[in-house]
Structure 1
Amino acid sequence: MANTSRPVGRTALLASAVALAGLVGACGGESSTSSAPQPSRAPRTTAPDTGTGTASGTAPAATTAPSDTAGSASASARTDGRCHTSELRAAVGRVDPGAGQRNFPIVLTNTSDRTCTLYGYPGAAFVDASGEQLGPDPERAPASPETVTLTPGKSAWAGLSFSSPQISGARTATPVALLVTPPDEHDPIEVKWTAGEVPVGGDESSVSLSALEAGTGP
């Protein structure tokens, strides 16, 4: 009986040891499998997202830049296309009397070597020898202005009109010069006035200006 119980006890003890070793091994294996991928997955997931975001953010900047540059160039071209005072010569044409009116063409000629444009009404003011303005600013005659393109040497004109002082009875003065300011410019061009007295006050003293059009007169 004693010999039979010892082998059985050893067998049970060995079985318990094997089972315990298997349990410890299994626990160690689970710990390695669940933790190892965690640090390796995070960089793989983050890197593609960062790269895609940068590419997506860069693309609109590359597309927008040429558009802005083109817009600025276009705006600059429109601004530079206007005729400036320094590029023009002004003159007063011969009087065209009619129906109690005195009508004069104010002519602006392009003296530059480039093509430029004029649009709208010129400014005009009669002045005396001291440079003081005589009378109010001319009124603008109703019109639908159009852009006038002047190649080098070409001209545009606007009509300066007022009632003959001998007929209207307006108070008059004799200017020394007429200051002509091109549209959208600040500096005037001085033109010697040789056509006698002009109305500067009283009834029927208004002077009118028409919009610029191509040519040197009607």
Structure 2
Amino acid sequence: MDVLLDIWQRMTTPHAALAPLTAWLTVAGAALIVLVPPVWRLARHAITIVHEGGHGVVAVLCGRRLGGIRLHSDTSGLTVSRGRPSGAGMVFTLLAGYPAAGLLGLGAAWLLSRGYDIGLLWALLAALALLLVQIRNWFGLWSVAVTAAVVFGVSWFGSAQVQGVFALLVTAFLLFGALRTSLELQQSRSRRAGSSSDADQLARLTHIPGIFWVGVFLAVQLICVALSARLLGFV
């Protein structure tokens, strides 16, 4: 009980905002993670976790039965849900993946704007724990477990400064990483026809070209970046 009370106190105690220079350097660090290819190839697994989690959450909300989630070493993933193969539920489920990281980043920015760095980290831990029970392959289990271990380590053992920097780094990484995955999606689509990407599956379901759906993904992500920058005082 004492541990739970300690966690609750940590989660609900606002932290002071980072110094402006520290905040800008942290955001620059997140941008480098997304822009430097070797680092991005490793960090992209975290975006895949959020992407597949987005599919899973919306599938359940739409009344579909979640069959499990797989995460692969090439940073791809697969979320299996059962229900009608067409209709609004399937459309919303497919729509959810690419915007998920941007929307999560926006939610994280809202929490950070109110000083809840630890609240954000523990919310991420709770989400990872819920996701873990839906993972259906060993690499996926390892990937989610390692991610959760890093978040837990910072939230429990890190100083207030380290926690604040890490929380902002995660937030900015989600926002920038979401944008890069959509740009990569379009590059991949332009190289091969008949793709099974979310955008192309949406195109087949709705008879609206895949490029339109890529545009929707990017629009949502750009709005999330703009709103997050405003919440955090960068603009």
Give the TM-score band, short-chain normalised. Answer: under 0.3
- Indicate the structure with greater strand content: 1
Higher RCO structure (Cα 8 Å, ≥6 apart)? 2
Instruction: Look at both structures and tell me which one has the larger radius of gyration over its CA atoms.
Output: 1
TM-score, structure 2 as length reference: 0.17
TM-score normalised per structure 1: 0.18
Higher helix share: 2
